[in-house]
Structure 1
């Protein structure tokens, strides 16, 4: 049998990127991982999200880019 982590529905949070508010829906595990990655870089979570937003290709949604970033840095 496979053991799964605690499951939560996506949580929508507002983030300000370059002075513009946007909402992002991610599962709690991704929000926590982003906070950990931000702290490791001495950034706020919002600042890290802004950097990821600027680095992502335009055809990739922000939530997807955030999830892929977390997986790549796990």
Structure 2
């Protein structure tokens, strides 16, 4: 029973975490008026070098606009 509860908690936490693409989109919306918040969100992106072409470009465009 404890194992089932542990697995449920792990799955729940994994489902709540945002993907890098979601983080970048959120940072893009905040970069104009809340640059400090956008920077904090961009810092949560795991590794920008592993992003696809479009998302890598969006990441760096958001970072430059800060």
| TM-score of the superposed pair, with normalisation by structure 1 | 0.30
Q: Which has the higher contact order (CA 8 A, sep 6+)?
A: 2
More strand by share: 1
Greater C-alpha radius of gyration: 2
More helix by share: 2
